[in-house]
């Protein structure tokens, strides 16, 4: 009879006993390489593969907008000729397109470095924000249910989104987008286990 493998991925840590600490152990081990994106204070980074998935999505958006911009540039060219109106319209379009390219291609890596999460014995926490920092805690007592989803690009890169649904009307759904798919599955199972346990009132 084959024994089931209950080992966990190196980038996912179960909550430790509350008598010792409320933060999961993130100390590097010999068989767990140090993640260069690993955050401090027990927080863990999202999967770096999500950067590539978001960049591909951004590149597709840039191509679509680029084609639309070229078509749109023809209209003032035919109506006003190669004059100041055409130059102004094209200049504005180029500026806006450059902004879209930056946020589509370069922003995902910046955002990735400012997003982290951790699992404790009292709930889940997510920290995000480049300029405005935001820390959101989800205690087990507020959790209703959780599910994992994957888009086409997420499946291609092996990442997924854990959505935790909570009681209340404000921030009733919290998305942990960009987790490794297997980590998202394990976190979902842990959320369900904690929700069903007698510790949650």
pTM of the model: 0.66
Give Dmax (Cα) for the chain.
80
Task: Kindly list the strands in the beta sheet with 116-119, ordered across the sheet, starting from the edge strand earlier in the chain.
Answer: 44-45, 116-119, 123-128, 134-139
**192, burial (CB in 10 Å: exposed 0-12, middle 13-18, buried 19+):** middle
Work out the mean pLDDT of the chain and round it to a whole number.
77
Check pLDDT > 50 for residue 36. no
Q: Residue 4 has which token pair?
A: 């089931």
pLDDT at site 169: 59
pLDDT higher than 50, residue 183: yes
Architecture of the domain delimited by 117-196: Roll (2.30)
* All structural domains of the chain with their residue ranges: 51-111, 117-196
């Amino acid at each position: 009879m084959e024994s089931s493998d209950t080992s966990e991925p190196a980038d996912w840590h179960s909550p430790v006993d509350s008598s010792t600490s409320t933060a999961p152990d993130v100390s590097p081990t010999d068989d767990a390489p140090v993640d260069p994106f690993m955050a401090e204070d027990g927080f863990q980074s999202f999967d770096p593969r999500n950067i590539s998935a978001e960049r591909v999505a951004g590149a597709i958006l840039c191509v679509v907008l680029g084609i639309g911009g070229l078509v749109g540039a023809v209209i003032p060219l035919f109506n006003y000729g190669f004059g100041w109106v055409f130059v102004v319209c094209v200049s504005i379009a180029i500026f806006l397109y450059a902004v879209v390219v930056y946020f589509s291609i370069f922003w995902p890596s910046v955002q990735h470095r400012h997003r982290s999460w951790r699992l404790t014995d009292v709930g889940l926490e997510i920290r995000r924000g480049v300029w405005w920092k935001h820390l959101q805690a989800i205690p087990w007592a507020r959790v209703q249910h959780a599910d994992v989803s994957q888009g086409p690009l997420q499946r291609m890169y092996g990442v997924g989104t854990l959505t935790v649904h909570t009681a209340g009307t404000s921030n009733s759904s919290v998305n942990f987008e960009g987790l490794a798919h297997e980590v998202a599955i394990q976190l979902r199972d842990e959320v369900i286990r904690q929700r069903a346990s007698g510790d949650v009132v």
